[in-house]
Structure formats: structure tokens, C-alpha cells
């Protein structure tokens, strides 16, 4: 009952624009000339036949899968490194969070300057990997922070019990640490 006002506001700012966008997608409008005609699903049929749309879907899928996979792997590696650090942990966290704290425009300019001498963003085969690298650099700290927070909340007794049972570091990582990190990593990856 207490959530009703918040849900009403959320519904009004999401459902109404979504419905309006759906209605507009079924029409052909040129307001300057007063053209407003119902075309049904013709726009969607055109998109399904358009090779540029198919290419855009493929590029989006490759970008998403590659960047999220790299971010998860590098984020877990960074979190494990931070968890084992003793002396420079605060400095490591600060350096790790620096790319994430920068505004997206600043990150874009940094990578534009880095890629400018070689022209990577203008070469079709290199543009997508270059953008994936920039995205991974910017977002890996987010996943690393999530993973690190979960790592430091794992009771040390679990690792000690595994060591007593004869499990090495790799076995402990595979059988205990990664399964305990999985829900947090899934949540963080879904935010991406």
C-alpha cells in the first residue's frame, strides 16, 4: 500500500511514453506537411528486411556479449587482487575507481585521443574492438567493486575449512569463491 504512489508515478513515466511510442511506430507522420496516416506493421516489415538493421543487431550483440564477459572476468580478477592486497589496498581501490568516476564524455575524449594516431575508429574491422576496449576500461571497476564487496563479506572460516580439507587455492576459488560470487556478478552484469 505504501508503494502505490511510487508505482503510480513510475507507471505514468514509463507506460505512457511506451504506449505513445508504439502508437507512433504504427503511423507515418510528417508534421511539416500535415501527413498523418496509419501504416500498421509496414515499418516493422521494412526493418526485418533491411540488411543495415540486421547488421546493427549483430554488432550490438557482439558488443554486449564481449564487453560484459570481459568486464566480469577482469572485475573478478581485480577484486581478487584487492582482496589479497594488504599494504596498498586503499590506493588500489582509488586507482580502480578512477575510470568509473570519470564522466562518459571524458572517457570518450580520452580514447578518441588514444585512437587518433592510428585511426582505429575509422577502420571498420577495428572500430568495434576499440569501442569494446573503451567500454571495458570504463565499466570494469563497477563489477570489481561489486565482487570485492562480496569477497570481503565471505567468512574466512569457509576458506580455512577448505584448506583443512586439503583444497588448494584454485580448488577453493572454483568450488567456494566463484559460486558465492555468482549472484552478485549476475546482478552487476544485469545492470550493464
pLDDT-wise least confident of 39-48, 68-77, 158-167? 158-167
pLDDT at residue 191, rounded to an integer: 82
**Predicted confidence band at 118 (pLDDT cuts at 50, 70, 90)?**
confident
- Span 20-33, pLDDT tens digits: 999 888 888 887 88
- Span 133-143, pLDDT tens digits: 999 999 999 99
**Predicted confidence band at 131 (pLDDT cuts at 50, 70, 90)?**
very high
pLDDT at residue 155, rounded to an integer: 86
Residues of the chain with CATH 1.10.3720.10: 50-191
| Separation of alpha carbons 157 and 21, rounded Å | 54
CATH superfamily, domain 50-191, is: MetI-like (1.10.3720.10)
pLDDT at residue 65, rounded to an integer: 95
Phi, psi dihedral angles at 87 (to 5 degrees): -85, -45
| Separation of alpha carbons 166 and 160, rounded Å | 10
**Mean pLDDT along residues 106-128:** 86
CA dihedral (72, 77, 82, 88) positive or negative: negative
Angle separating helix axes 124-153 and 104-115, nearest 10 degrees: 130
Is there a contact between 151 and 181 (Cβ–Cβ < 8 Å)? yes
Give yes or no for residue 40 having a pLDDT over 80.
yes
Phi, psi dihedral angles at 37 (to 5 degrees): -130, 145
58 secondary structure, DSSP code: H
- Is 177 strand, coil or helix? helix
| Separation of alpha carbons 74 and 178, rounded Å | 14
Is there a contact between 147 and 188 (Cβ–Cβ < 8 Å)? yes
Is there a contact between 175 and 167 (Cβ–Cβ < 8 Å)? yes
**Predicted confidence band at 158 (pLDDT cuts at 50, 70, 90)?**
confident
Amino acid at each position: 500500500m505504501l508503494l502505490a504512489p511510487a508505482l503510480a508515478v513510475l507507471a505514468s513515466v514509463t507506460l505512457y511514453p511506451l504506449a505513445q511510442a508504439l502508437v507512433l511506430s504504427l503511423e507515418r507522420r510528417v508534421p511539416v506537411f500535415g501527413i498523418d496516416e496509419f501504416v500498421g506493421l509496414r515499418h516493422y516489415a521494412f526493418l526485418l528486411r533491411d540488411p543495415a538493421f540486421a547488421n546493427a543487431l549483430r554488432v550490438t550483440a557482439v558488443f554486449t556479449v564481449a564487453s560484459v564477459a570481459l568486464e566480469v572476468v577482469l572485475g573478478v580478477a581485480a577484486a581478487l587482487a584487492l582482496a589479497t592486497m594488504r599494504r596498498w589496498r586503499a590506493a588500489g581501490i582509488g586507482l580502480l575507481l578512477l575510470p568509473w568516476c570519470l564522466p562518459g564524455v571524458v572517457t570518450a575524449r580520452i580514447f578518441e585521443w588514444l585512437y587518433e594516431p592510428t585511426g582505429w575508429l575509422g577502420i571498420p574491422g577495428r572500430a568495434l574492438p576499440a569501442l569494446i576496449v573503451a567500454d571495458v576500461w570504463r565499466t570494469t571497476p563497477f563489477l570489481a567493486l561489486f565482487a570485492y564487496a562480496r569477497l570481503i563479506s565471505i567468512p574466512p572460516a569457509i576458506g580455512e575449512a577448505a584448506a583443512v580439507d586439503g583444497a588448494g587455492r584454485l580448488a577453493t576459488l572454483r568450488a567456494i569463491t566463484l559460486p558465492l560470487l555468482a549472484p552478485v556478478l549476475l546482478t552487476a552484469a544485469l545492470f550493464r
